[in-house]
Structure 1
Amino acid sequence: MSALLCHELQNAPRETLWIADENSKALLQQGFTFTGDLLSNRWDIARLGEGKAGRSFFSDFHFEELGRNYRRIVFPVSKEKAIVHHVINRAAEFLGEGGELVLIGGKQSGIKTYAAKAAQRLGCAKQLQKHGAEYCSINPLQTRSGEAIEDQDYTALRPLAELNGLYSKPGLFGWNKIDRGSALLAKLFADHLPNSGDHVVDLGCGYGYLSTRLATHGDYYFTATDNNAAALIACRKNFEVQGLEGAVVPSDAGVELEANIADLLICNPPFHQGFQVEGDLTERFLRQSARLLKSSGSALFVVNEFIPLARKAREHFSTVTLLEKSGGFCTYRLSR
């Protein structure tokens, strides 16, 4: 997607907002510079945008924090439908008169459907152009009163019965269910408890399921990290409601945390980067886990069974123990 996205950004007026998600990472890593504003719900993308965009913002798409309207909003559509619907809805509010929303996506991204919905929301005719394997939809703002698109009440943080009362919201992967791998790992906590008061790092915390389950076994200090703004909002709420002691902080696989702080590290690492399977993610989480653990500490991981975690972990840990293989998942205990 970088070629089409790069073209649209290079030819955009200065008053342009780039909604940058995981699909934009490659472009930023190439050193691309952009005179407009960048908004991302991903910590790593927002950090990469610093110094490469006029202004770079990290939030769960809180447009009101930007403090202005735009002549153009450029959005390579996200994998999460609720995010796309939310951004289209907000574009009708934050485009200036005569402004336009530009959607970019491949055939499998749902771009054709999103182009129709954007036209409905902004009151314009549906427009879609093919550029090789990619599509571009340019939607001029004709009205701010077009029918809003269902976005699952995107901004609302809510307790869910499916999560045993934990809070969550759209915009977070698996936001309304308990991940089967995480549930499998949580069942093993009772056999691998740290000492009372020990420091636990929850790497890639999501809405905080693993931390809240471990906290039912004792009193620990938690540092929970995630790259996703919606996850951080939900996890902070669950820490507050459940009475967990600790901090919830944005981080890209724990890179920003100090070394040698964790007595126990718990992790269900992601393996998708947007629409792609990203094999390097597991390696990054393992490398950072080894850095974060105290010499006497251990890590508990769960991964899909096709992830070669045991092989990758041996580069960073002296002991790699398979605890259980069940339901397509493997759980491991790793120690330095």
Structure 2
Amino acid sequence: MTGYGMNVLTNPSQLLVKNSDALEAERILVVQPENDNFVPQLSQQGAASVNVYTTSEVVRSRLSDLGVNEACLAYGECIPDQKEKPDTIIVYLQKSREFMNYLLAMSLPLLSDNGHLLLVGENSSGIKSWQKRLAVYGDVEKIDSARHCSLYVLTPTVKPSPFVIVDWKASFEEVLHDVCVKAVTLPGVFNHGRLDVGTRLLLETMEAGFKGDILDFGCGSGVVGAWLAKRFPGVRLFLLDNDAMALAATRETCRINEVDPVAVIASDGLENVRGRFNAIVSNPPFHEGVKTQYETTEQFLRESKSLLKPKGRLRIVANSFLRYPPIIEAVFGHCHVLVKRDGFTVYEAFNG
């Protein structure tokens, strides 16, 4: 397999290219590819068809811009039915073990008879432990290890159970300021199955003053937005996340709380946001994939003021060790600390 620009491929993708003979198949499904050029380059190498499934709007948008056919590019909480079963499914290792189990349970029933599943990922992310975990599905062999990554091939010997998404949903209920909110979550979504300490702290500070158009950036399970809509009737709610799993959970959370948001937005940062808001609230993400990632939140903080109406407010909660205050101060000219507890801090700033 030739023609790969190695400088635009992550280490796991480079390991796949190094073992190009394992990619010789008529129909390939790539699950959760990384934000690189592997998929378009694979598509150019002569495979009869390459389909892609991702839960990342960042990756979906990039692949679309690189010319991957929209008909072959699926973004959502479930892999759509394949017209023809893939002979090879490539799965990139994810940080969440439960999300990995979800992807495997969703992928394996799609595989053709005598097909193979390839799992690739970095050694530092714990991929070696997956050799044993994959064995419950069939025969597992290590193909290669290089560039601090490993590549395994699974040949299923056990007929997989049909995938049913409802089996993977979790829910919880919380009462804050006498407002009861219910949440539905899915694997890989922040707050899966419980309310985290930081989000609870953020909600505790929201005693009064929220009205008009409110944007929840990085909405996760939708619990913050749904609670706000119940606490402050009449607000116009906009919910945003990069992750399709989060957006699916958010829609379900809004439904069970009888909350009707103006929009649920798939977006890379604030790219797909239009209009200005009375308030932007967030427990912003700082993890992406298997690595810690701060750039999305830092860019969000720099751009947030331009999306606020006059006297509009930004309120976020973050791990206290994250150096967000200097960025907020540079943008707004001030940064108020509302509360600091249990390793988290709630910050607020106003537009004028």
TM-score, normalised via structure 2 length: 0.82
Structure 2 CA distance for partners of 1:125 and 1:233, relative to 1, 3 Å: closer
- Quote the offset at 1:239 in angstroms: 1.3
Structure 2 CA distance for partners of 1:111 and 1:31, relative to 1, 3 Å: closer
* Partner of residue 232, structure 1: 247
Secondary structure of residue in 2 paired with 1:299: strand
Are 1:179 and 2:196 an aligned pair? Answer: yes
Looking at structure 2, the residues matched to 7 and 114 of structure 1 have their Cα atoms a distance apart, in angstroms, of 17
Check the 8 A contact 1:206/1:231 in 2, yes or no.
yes
* Partner of residue 58, structure 2: 44
* Partner of residue 169, structure 2: 157
Structure 2 CA distance for partners of 1:88 and 1:287, relative to 1, 3 Å: same
Looking at structure 1, the residues matched to 308 and 26 of structure 2 have their Cα atoms a distance apart, in angstroms, of 45
* Partner of residue 59, structure 1: 76
Looking at structure 2, the residues matched to 230 and 295 of structure 1 have their Cα atoms a distance apart, in angstroms, of 33
Looking at structure 2, the residues matched to 213 and 66 of structure 1 have their Cα atoms a distance apart, in angstroms, of 38
* Partner of residue 17, structure 1: 29
Structure 2 CA distance for partners of 1:243 and 1:90, relative to 1, 3 Å: closer
Looking at structure 2, the residues matched to 14 and 68 of structure 1 have their Cα atoms a distance apart, in angstroms, of 10
* Partner of residue 145, structure 1: 159
Structure 2 CA distance for partners of 1:161 and 1:333, relative to 1, 3 Å: closer
Secondary structure of residue in 2 paired with 1:181: helix
* Partner of residue 301, structure 1: 316
Structure 2 CA distance for partners of 1:33 and 1:262, relative to 1, 3 Å: farther
TM-score, normalised via structure 1 length: 0.86
Check the 8 A contact 1:34/1:52 in 2, yes or no.
no
**1:1-336 equivalences in 2 (<5 Å):** 2-8=10-16, 11=20, 12=23, 13=25, 15-20=27-32, 24-25=34-35, 27-28=36-37, 33-35=41-43, 36-50=50-64, 51-54=66-69, 55-60=72-77, 62-121=78-137, 123-127=138-142, 129-141=144-156, 143-145=157-159, 156-161=168-173, 165-191=182-208, 193-195=209-211, 198-219=212-233, 220-246=235-261, 247-259=263-275, 261-336=276-351
Looking at structure 1, the residues matched to 63 and 95 of structure 2 have their Cα atoms a distance apart, in angstroms, of 20
Check the 8 A contact 2:184/2:252 in 1, yes or no.
yes
- Quote the offset at 1:173 in angstroms: 2.5
Secondary structure of residue in 1 paired with 2:230: helix
Deviations 1:147-197 (A, max 9, x none): x69x99775434324786322222213311212111111111114x233xx
How many residue pairs get aligned? The number is 323
Check the 8 A contact 1:20/1:76 in 2, yes or no.
yes
Deviations 1:3-38 (A, max 9, x none): 4414525833452111125xx12x24x996331222
Check the 8 A contact 1:155/1:169 in 2, yes or no.
no
Deviations 1:245-274 (A, max 9, x none): 322221122220114x21111011111122
- Quote the offset at 1:307 in angstroms: 1.0
Looking at structure 1, the residues matched to 217 and 249 of structure 2 have their Cα atoms a distance apart, in angstroms, of 15
Please, which runs of 5 or more residues in structure 1 have no aligned partner? none
Residue type at the aligned position of 1:252: D
Please, which runs of 5 or more residues in structure 2 have no aligned partner? 1-8, 44-49, 176-180
- Quote the offset at 1:105 in angstroms: 1.7
% identical aligned pairs: 20
Residue type at the aligned position of 1:81: R
Residue type at the aligned position of 1:291: S
Deviations 1:42-96 (A, max 9, x none): 1111111114434221112x22344331121111210111221122233332122
Looking at structure 1, the residues matched to 297 and 291 of structure 2 have their Cα atoms a distance apart, in angstroms, of 14
Deviations 1:110-167 (A, max 9, x none): 322322332331x2244353224211101234x3526x69x99775434324786322
